[in-house]
Amino acid sequence: MDYRFSLTPRLLLLACLSLLTLLVLAFLLGIQLGHRLAPVPAAAAPVTPATQAAPSAPSAPSVAPAASAGRVGGSGGRP
């Protein structure tokens, strides 16, 4: 029993289409993996309630007013 393998035009067309499909799928897989491995830019990062800054209360002045400088609660021990 002998089998003679011949490359007919139909077989060549099928082989070329299969190779082209394989290359396209490998390219699309590379794009998908690249998107998953790439870091997320800071501007495009989604903002979640946990990462949002809480509104801060108005802060007290860091320097005491001149009228109360040196006084801590009352007369301060001076007559």
C-alpha 36/C-alpha 33 separation (Å) is: 5
C-alpha 50, offset from chain centre: 16
Q: Choose between 23 and 60: higher pLDDT.
A: 23
Angle 58-59-60 from CA coordinates, rounded to 5°: 125
pLDDT band (50, 70, 90) for residue 2:
confident
Structure confidence by residue, pLDDT tens digits, 8-54: 999 999 999 999 999 999 999 999 999 999 888 777 666 676 656 65
